[in-house]
Amino acid sequence: MTEIKQAIIIRSDLEMSKGKTAAQAAHASLMGYFEAEKQDKQIAREWLDTGEKKIVLKVSDEESLVKLYNAFKFKKVPCALVTDAGLTEIPPGSKTALGIGPWRSEEIDLFTRQLKLL
């Protein structure tokens, strides 16, 4: 059986509070899930049924986040980029997080294995 997981990527350069970071990670998780469900309901269901495995990683800037997003879109791996409304800690339009999957772990690892845990 293929392992299914979700990766959540957070920008570390924004220096968001723990609460803000948690909120952005939650946005990324839900948005990624909905993209995966649209693409393959069976993979999304399997992820829900097997414990909803997640890994939270970091990148150092917006450019790195957007490059990852574009790479996953190109590979047709479901993903979602979180853009903040700017009502609290950071400027409006800031890209804060990326939700990838849930999807096949080996496809997520292609672009994330070099990233560090948040």
Q: What's the pLDDT score for residue 41?
A: 98
Residue located via tokens 């909120």? 23
Q: How far apart are CA 38 and CA 96, in angstroms?
A: 23
Structural domain for 32, as ranges = 4-117
Is pLDDT at 88 greater than 80 in this prediction?
A: yes
18 pLDDT band (50/70/90 cuts)?
Answer: very high
Is pLDDT at 1 greater than 80 in this prediction?
A: no
The domain tally of the chain equals: 1
Q: How far apart are CA 24 and CA 81, in angstroms?
A: 10
Q: How far apart are CA 100 and CA 98, in angstroms?
A: 6
60 pLDDT band (50/70/90 cuts)?
Answer: very high
Supply the CATH number for residue 38's domain.
3.40.1490.10
Q: Percent of the chain at pLDDT above 70?
A: 99
Residue located via tokens 């800037």? 61
